[in-house]
Amino acid sequence: MTDPRSLSTYLNDHLAMATAGIELLRRATGSHPRHRAEELTRLRDEARADLESLRSVMRRLEVAESRPMAALGWLGEKAGRLKPNGYLLRRSPLADVIELEGLLAAVEGKIACWQVLRTIAVMDDRVGADELDTLVGRAEDQAARLHTLHLQAVRERLLP
């Protein structure tokens, strides 16, 4: 049987990360060029659906949602903007590249979370393995799309 306290901590940590990722996607959608913003909008909408899936899994596993952890994720994304990058009043030319790398890391974390839950699903029928397989596949697709956007940004911002 899964340790309920550890599972609660684990899933609420992912809840915080998902909240931060959605905030980063929201911000990135408004600041990237149109050709990337459209795809980022689709990714943001999918991330919102994934967050609802995570909440649904948490309810089924009887894990209480920690609102303070979700709030920390939201605040963490805001605090991440306050880094010294040599630009006080405007975006750094590399901001698009760094944001996309952050989003890639977040999606890799989401993949890991779904895989952990998939492992738990083998022993706990409150969560369906097929559902988690679908979520893993969607997250892997998101990672591939973000990788493409990242390489576009690298070519636009770092190459002559």
- pLDDT tens string 139-157: 999 999 999 999 999 999 8
- Contacts of range 32-36, beta carbons closer than 8 Å, 24 or more positions apart: 32/96, 32/99, 32/153, 33/156, 35/152, 36/96, 36/149, 36/152, 36/153
**Structural domain boundaries, residue 146:** 4-158
Q: State how many domains the chain has.
A: 1
- pLDDT tens string 74-133: 555 555 555 555 544 566 778 889 899 999 999 999 999 999 999 999 999 999 999 999
CA distance 124 to 118: 10
- pLDDT for 12: 94
Q: The CATH number of the domain where 38 resides is what? A: 1.20.1260.10
Of residues 85 and 15, more confidently modeled: 15
Asked whether the beta carbons of 14 and 54 are under 8 A apart, the reply is yes
- pLDDT tens string 119-139: 999 999 999 999 999 999 999
- pLDDT for 73: 59
Asked whether the beta carbons of 23 and 78 are under 8 A apart, the reply is yes
